[in-house]
Structure 1
Amino acid sequence: MPLLSTLVDTFNDNVIGPDWGNAYGGVTETGGRARIPCIAGQYAGYQTAKTWTLAGSSAYLQVPLAAAANGGTVEVQTVFSIITTTAGTNLAFNINTVAGTMRCESNVAYFDGAATSLTYNATTHAWLRIRETGGNVLWDTSTDGSSWTNRRTLATPAWVTAATDTCALDLWSYRNNGTTNYAEFDNVNTSASSASTYFGSAALTADGAQTAAATRSIIIAAGVSAESGLAVASVQSAQASAALSGSSELSAQTDAVDTDDLTIQYSEPRGGWTVSQPWI
């Protein structure tokens, strides 16, 4: 049971996506928008298959350009509608730039005699939303796709809850006469504000380029009391004693006298000697 709120398209790839398989009348995806020609006596539109559910869900989008009157005398329409398998039964925002109005419609047989009619303002009504919740259908408008103003509330028609997997989104345009132009739709179920833009500064010289990267920062307040303490990491040191001992040996080397070639002779003492034994 795909809810309409899960249908998302930014139209940024300039290719009509598969969700719009029932598109008709020469529509294109141009400049990141769904562009719908507004041709005298012809209908054109972006339309999905009838496989979606509105009950308990919603659909919203941006209307950057409603088809201008351009010589039209009765109706030049730019329409955001949710349709079902019963022809002429639908919920819609219908902008008519000839009359300068926007109607919040719950049509049966292509008509709603109790529709809420507003003076159309391209800025005030830049974003449109239809939703079903709590037993009611609501038509809302927004300047930015974020803050919404309710324009009409109606008890949920029986077909809305019965049309499980049989609803379609139909974005169309038509003029009875005048010069051909076009309407544009954008950002189905996705707000332009959901994309964040960050700016960075960079100093550039004639000899080179520098890329600036954006930096996010968070400032956190902290209170410090007079009794706050600072923790100091301790440093452990160890001392060890060591006893050193050493021993040494001294040796003396004498040159031995070779007595092998000496002959000792014994004789009587000579004068001037004091003679003792054994010479006495």
Structure 2
Amino acid sequence: MALISTLVDNFNDNIVGPDWGNAYGGVSETGGRARCPCVAGNYAGYQTAKVWTLAGSSVYLQVPVAAAANGATVEAQTVFAVITATAGTNLAFNINTVANTIRCESNVGYTDGAAVSLTYSAATHAWLRIRETGGNVLWDTSTDGSTWTNRRTLATPAWVTAAVDACALDLYSYRNNGTTNYAEFDNVNTPASSASVYFASAALTADSAQTASATRSIVVSASLTADSSLDAASIQAATASAALAGSSELGAKTDAVDTDDITVQLSEPRGGWTVSQPWI
């Protein structure tokens, strides 16, 4: 089931993307917005394929520019609608700058006699949302895409729950006559601040104290490729020196005969010996 809340486009690439394969009437992406020309007698719109489900889901967007009246006598429309395969059956916000109204519509055969009509305000109705929950369809508006005000609640039409993967989002403009201009849509299911970067400043005085504790870090180098993980462990090595002193004794073992207990006796020579000095 493709919930319509998963359809997301901020139009920042200035290319009509594949999600809008049924776009018609010469639409374009300009300045990071979806632009629909509002031409007398012609419809122009960003439309998806009928592959989405609204039941249990929601869709919201921003309307930075509603098509101005520019001489139209009946209608200059800027419309945000969830449609089905049945022509004229849809849920919609319909802004008409000729009448200066915004209508919350549940149309069958292109009409809704019970539509809720409000005085249109570009600021108050800058963001629009259609959602289905708890057996009801709700139409909500917002100034900032964050805080919402409910404008109409209706028991969920049978076609909403039956149209599983069969709904489309249609963002279009139309005028009956007058001078051509355009309507613009932006930020489908995405807040305007989703890619914002915020900067903050702090005033520091001389000799101020830093309260954050210091953190010791070890820097190692590694050759990395895209989306690779670093699994090398860092090793801290220490080198130390020491001065060593030592003394030793050299001992030698000798096999000489111990003569301390030998007594030498001298006596007169016996016969058979040849005697020389000093014995003569």
Q: TM-score, normalised by structure 1?
A: 0.72
C-alpha separation in 2, matches of 1:154 and 1:109: 18
Cross-structure match for 1:192: 192
Matches within 5 A, 1:30-45: 30-45=30-45
- Cα separation, partners in 2 of 1:200 and 1:61, compared to 1, 3 Å: same
C-alpha separation in 2, matches of 1:194 and 1:124: 21
1:154 maps onto 2:163 in alignment: no
C-alpha separation in 2, matches of 1:156 and 1:128: 18
Cross-structure match for 2:2: 2
- Cα separation, partners in 2 of 1:247 and 1:54, compared to 1, 3 Å: closer
- Cα separation, partners in 2 of 1:98 and 1:197, compared to 1, 3 Å: same
Cross-structure match for 1:28: 28
Structure 1 residue ranges without an equivalent (≥5): 202-217, 220-242, 249-280
- Of all paired residues, the percent bearing the same amino acid is 82
C-alpha separation in 1, matches of 2:140 and 2:74: 26
Measured against aligned partners, the alpha-carbon deviations of 1:122-160 in whole angstroms (never above 9, x if no partner) come to 000000000000000000000000110000000000000
Q: Secondary structure at the match of 1:19?
A: helix
- Cα separation, partners in 2 of 1:245 and 1:181, compared to 1, 3 Å: closer
Measured against aligned partners, the alpha-carbon deviations of 1:211-230 in whole angstroms (never above 9, x if no partner) come to xxxxxxx99xxxxxxxxxxx
Please report the RMSD computed on the Cα atoms of aligned residues, expressed in angstroms: 2.1
Cross-structure match for 1:145: 145
C-alpha separation in 2, matches of 1:137 and 1:63: 21
Q: Secondary structure at the match of 1:194?
A: coil
Q: Do the aligned residues in 2 keep the contact of 1:145 with 1:193 (CA within 8 Å)? A: no
Q: TM-score, normalised by structure 2?
A: 0.72
Cross-structure match for 1:54: 54
Matches within 5 A, 1:1-280: 1-199=1-199
Q: Which amino acid aligns with 2:69?
A: A
Q: Secondary structure at the match of 2:193?
A: helix
C-alpha separation in 2, matches of 1:109 and 1:244: 109
Cross-structure match for 1:225: none
Give, in angstroms, the shift of residue 193 of structure 1. Answer: 2.5
Measured against aligned partners, the alpha-carbon deviations of 1:37-75 in whole angstroms (never above 9, x if no partner) come to 000000010000011100000100000000000001100
Higher-Rg member (1/2): 1
Q: Secondary structure at the match of 2:61?
A: strand
Give, in angstroms, the shift of residue 247 of structure 1. Answer: 8.1
Measured against aligned partners, the alpha-carbon deviations of 1:141-195 in whole angstroms (never above 9, x if no partner) come to 0000011000000000000000001100000000000000000000000011333
C-alpha separation in 2, matches of 1:132 and 1:167: 13
- Cα separation, partners in 2 of 1:78 and 1:244, compared to 1, 3 Å: closer
C-alpha separation in 1, matches of 2:48 and 2:248: 101
- Cα separation, partners in 2 of 1:13 and 1:164, compared to 1, 3 Å: same
Moved over 2 A (4+): 193-196, 198-201, 243-248
C-alpha separation in 2, matches of 1:192 and 1:4: 19
How many residues are treated as equivalent by the alignment?
211
- Cα separation, partners in 2 of 1:187 and 1:244, compared to 1, 3 Å: closer
Give, in angstroms, the shift of residue 200 of structure 1. Answer: 6.4
Give, in angstroms, the shift of residue 93 of structure 1. Answer: 0.1
C-alpha separation in 2, matches of 1:180 and 1:244: 104
C-alpha separation in 2, matches of 1:165 and 1:60: 18
- Cα separation, partners in 2 of 1:108 and 1:244, compared to 1, 3 Å: closer
C-alpha separation in 2, matches of 1:198 and 1:171: 31
Q: Do the aligned residues in 2 keep the contact of 1:141 with 1:150 (CA within 8 Å)? A: yes
C-alpha separation in 2, matches of 1:244 and 1:10: 81
Q: Do the aligned residues in 2 keep the contact of 1:52 with 1:167 (CA within 8 Å)? A: yes
Measured against aligned partners, the alpha-carbon deviations of 1:90-132 in whole angstroms (never above 9, x if no partner) come to 0000000000000000000000000000000000000000000
Give, in angstroms, the shift of residue 197 of structure 1. Answer: 1.7
Q: Secondary structure at the match of 1:37?
A: strand
- Cα separation, partners in 2 of 1:31 and 1:134, compared to 1, 3 Å: same
